[in-house]
Structure 1
Amino acid sequence: MPLALLALAIGAFGIGTTEFVIMGLLPEVANDFDVSIPLAGYATTLYALGVVLGAPLMTVLGTRLTRKQMLLLLMGVFIVGNALTAAAPAFGLLLAGRIVAAFAHGAFFGIGAIVAADLVAPEKRATAIATMFTGLTLSNVAGVPAGTWLGQQVSWRATFLAVAALGVIGLLGVARLVPAQPERAASRLGSELAVFRNPQVGLAMLMTILGFGGVFAAVTYLASMMTEVTGFAESSVTWLTAAFGVGLFGGNLISGRLADRSPMPMLYASLSGLAVSLGLFTFTAHHKVAAVVTLVLIGAFGFATVPPLQKRVMDQAAAAPTLASAGNIAAFNFGNALAAWLGGLVISGGLGYTAVNWVGALMTVSAILIALYATHLERRTARSGRVVAGGGTAAPASGSAVEAGAVTVR
């Protein structure tokens, strides 16, 4: 794999750390600002919404920059946002800092996925995307546990200062390792928007919202669930988040390879495993060993959905992939925000911390139903030979890359 993928993974590591580390620090943040746990959960919800808004906005604003220049700009925004979070004197300013940092997230992963796919042969796209996302999964194995420990031992503010420093390392990595790219004319916004007329693009994004969103219904409130329900000590949250990260890493590693061969079967398997794991977590959360095993499975099945979902959107929008790729990252985070909000509602409604797992399971089952419909529509379109909007014929039922009339991602 090209060395430039390491630079993208470094940036992903920093972004992943700031996205997930708040899960283990919600009690500290809530105590510091004297707010409830569900209200502190808005630090997750608004971050996710910031990604939803920032992904398309930053992508459109950066159309006159090379992709490398845009990645450098996004890492700068990320650094500023985390520094503001660390220095926030009031809860509202903390939320503002989270939103600023989130504006870098979606566009970085969206543009980074295209750069990663452009660095390898077409049949290795999903593997390249998974390699970039390895930084995100490793952040849960190392960055998030370390950040949680630092926040509990020193201060949650020290954690976000450390995350800002990670952003500096990511910026230097992109500057050093990502190859220079030629200047490009402003992207044709009409062409980018036209791909959304392909119903398969919208269906893939809806799968993303409901599928991976199910993970966040459970893990947003992981610290409180594990301490209040399972009976773990607060200090155990550090290694529990690491266990979740191990699951993410394993799921991403396996899925990246299999999604290049059979993307839709991989997607069905991962979504089904995720739905079952989330449903079981309602019961296993009451037993320490079973809870840890289930948490690892949720991480593994959850992130196993990411390479095939991202690849599917890029394949279906191959004629103009930039906005669609960033839009799908926004879809991931819209699902995260929706799940965190719904989870907060069931907790505030007195249903308990474990009820959030049923929220996640139901979201994931909905994603499976949408995937089945998308496959049915795809087969029907393939039989009719009808050309879909977005610059290519419909992809075959297996979900492999767009063939006739498709334009390779560049």
Structure 2
Amino acid sequence: MNHRKALIALALGTFALGVAEFGMMGVLGDVARGVDVSIVKAGHLISIYSAGVACGSPALVLLHRMPLRRLMILLAAMILLGNLLAAISVDFTMLLCSRLISGLPHGAYFGAGAIVCSRLAAKGHGAAAVAVMIGGMTIANLAGVPLATLAANLAGWRYPFAIVAFMAALALACLCRWLPSIEPLPDTGIKGQFAFLRSSAPWLIYGGVFFGQASVYCWLSYIEPIMTRVTGFSGAAMTYVMVIVGLGMVAGNAVAGRLADRHSVSVVCGLLAAAMAIVMPAIYLLDAFKIPSLLLAFMASFGLFGIGGPLQYLIVRFAKGGEMLGGAGIQIAFNVSNAVSAWIGGVAIGAGWSLSSPALVGVPFALAGTTFLWLLHRRYGHEGA
């Protein structure tokens, strides 16, 4: 039971990270108006968070000797600090810097957390333990992001960041109380931590994550202006739209996780990536119709977490000697994908294409993700990929 509480404490942290990352997409218009910038410029707040993830994750190389309990507590404190600063930002520049700080602990939290889960779980249940931790992020998208959207609509753009800061404080308190002492991983040295990258397997996994996630993120980064200005939903209705998106993420994480325990991870994730090559054009073609748009939003978010969740667990098996760095690498791929796709989606809109055009931009990414995961299965399927 104590281990279950520790997993819940870890999930509270990923809940805070989920709202911090995905909540911005549901309140982009409110934030843009609040700090007096354009939608495209406000999109940089999504990209800068991802840049923080990419910059912060490699720090695990320097912190690998730190006891895992102390490391998780430090990372939770950083989540609290970054979002507290965002909530009190006085202008766009301060908010941009705060988002960078908020992103720094993200990848490291998932990378170190995956190792903690594997240490806490009974033999043969590591994937289920990681799913509990990642489940915090999916629940964030089901409940936390709609709550943040509602708070922004009713009370102002600062309140979503205040909600994240509160959840980070709760996670910090629970980690201090429930997470047992866990020794650091064996010290393989800085060079040894990177040795796993000599194999092509991790690169194929990272490629599957990067391109598979980008296929959805191109569209998801601009879901608020698309749903309100093109599909015709009111700003208040975005709360319910984000609930649908959150349901898709919860379902994708749960269903793909179970399928990946029974079948090849690369096959499960590859089929979902291929499905996104069909879903994205459908989103573009049916953007004026509310019910189809909601159904497709569910399917797209299902694919987003269905692709990413199982690969977070798989990388640990192919990152011997650098497991923590390998797990953080998934989040680097995930968030660099987020940043690049948000930027490319903004370029398409800025070039005069329709607001829904980022969905079409996602199609080649989906095909690339499918290719990487097919190669992963072909080369390493016999090793459990």
The two structures have a TM-score, normalised by structure 1, of: 0.90
Q: Could you give the per-residue CA deviations for residues 296-352 of structure 1, whole angstroms, max 9, x where no partner exists?
A: 111112111123211222111133311111111111101111110110000001111
Does the CA-based 8 Å contact 2:280-2:359 persist in structure 1?
Answer: yes
Aligned to 1:130: 131
Does the CA-based 8 Å contact 1:64-1:187 persist in structure 2?
Answer: no
Structure 1, unpaired ranges of 5+: 379-394, 400-410
Residue type of the alignment partner of 1:351? W
Aligned to 2:271: 269
CA positional deviation for 1:287: 0.3
Aligned to 1:228: 229
CA positional deviation for 1:38: 0.8
Does the CA-based 8 Å contact 2:15-2:138 persist in structure 1?
Answer: yes
Q: Could you give the per-residue CA deviations for residues 170-217 of structure 1, whole angstroms, max 9, x where no partner exists?
A: 111211222112366755111111111111111211111111122211
Aligned to 2:382: 396
Aligned to 2:54: 52
Q: Could you give the per-residue CA deviations for residues 48-79 of structure 1, whole angstroms, max 9, x where no partner exists?
A: 1110111112x123223111111100111111
Aligned to 1:339: 341
Aligned to 2:219: 218
Q: Could you give the per-residue CA deviations for residues 345-373 of structure 1, whole angstroms, max 9, x where no partner exists?
A: 00001111111001222211111012222
Structure 2, unpaired ranges of 5+: none
**In 2, Cα distance between the equivalents of 1:179 and 1:318?**
24
Q: For structure 1, which segment, 125-134 or 174-183, has the greater mean C-alpha deviation from structure 2 after superposition? A: 174-183
Residue type of the alignment partner of 2:69? K
Q: Secondary structure at 1:21's aligned position in 2?
A: helix
Residue type of the alignment partner of 1:226? M
Name the count of aligned residue pairs. Answer: 382
The two structures have a TM-score, normalised by structure 2, of: 0.95
Aligned to 1:278: 280
**In 2, Cα distance between the equivalents of 1:123 and 1:320?**
21
Does the CA-based 8 Å contact 2:188-2:321 persist in structure 1?
Answer: no
RMSD over aligned CA atoms reads: 1.6
Aligned to 1:190: 191
User: 1:4-403, aligned counterparts within 5 Å?
Assistant: 4-57=6-59, 59-182=60-183, 188-262=189-263, 263-378=265-380, 396=382, 398-399=384-385
**In 1, Cα distance between the equivalents of 2:279 and 2:258?**
22
**In 2, Cα distance between the equivalents of 1:247 and 1:65?**
36
**In 1, Cα distance between the equivalents of 2:71 and 2:230?**
44
Sort the Cα spacing of 1:205 and 1:190 in 2 relative to 1 into closer, same or farther, 3 A.
same
CA positional deviation for 1:148: 0.8
Q: Could you give the per-residue CA deviations for residues 54-113 of structure 1, whole angstroms, max 9, x where no partner exists?
A: 1112x1232231111111001111111111111111111101000101001110011111
**In 2, Cα distance between the equivalents of 1:253 and 1:201?**
23
CA positional deviation for 1:122: 5.0
Aligned to 1:389: none
CA positional deviation for 1:129: 1.4
**In 1, Cα distance between the equivalents of 2:17 and 2:184?**
26
Q: Could you give the per-residue CA deviations for residues 109-142 of structure 1, whole angstroms, max 9, x where no partner exists?
A: 1111111122224533222211111100000111
**In 2, Cα distance between the equivalents of 1:55 and 1:284?**
38
Q: Could you give the per-residue CA deviations for residues 254-307 of structure 1, whole angstroms, max 9, x where no partner exists?
A: 111111222122112221222322221111221000000000111112111123
Percent identity, aligned pairs only, is: 31
**In 1, Cα distance between the equivalents of 2:183 and 2:305?**
33
**In 2, Cα distance between the equivalents of 1:124 and 1:186?**
25
Aligned to 1:386: none
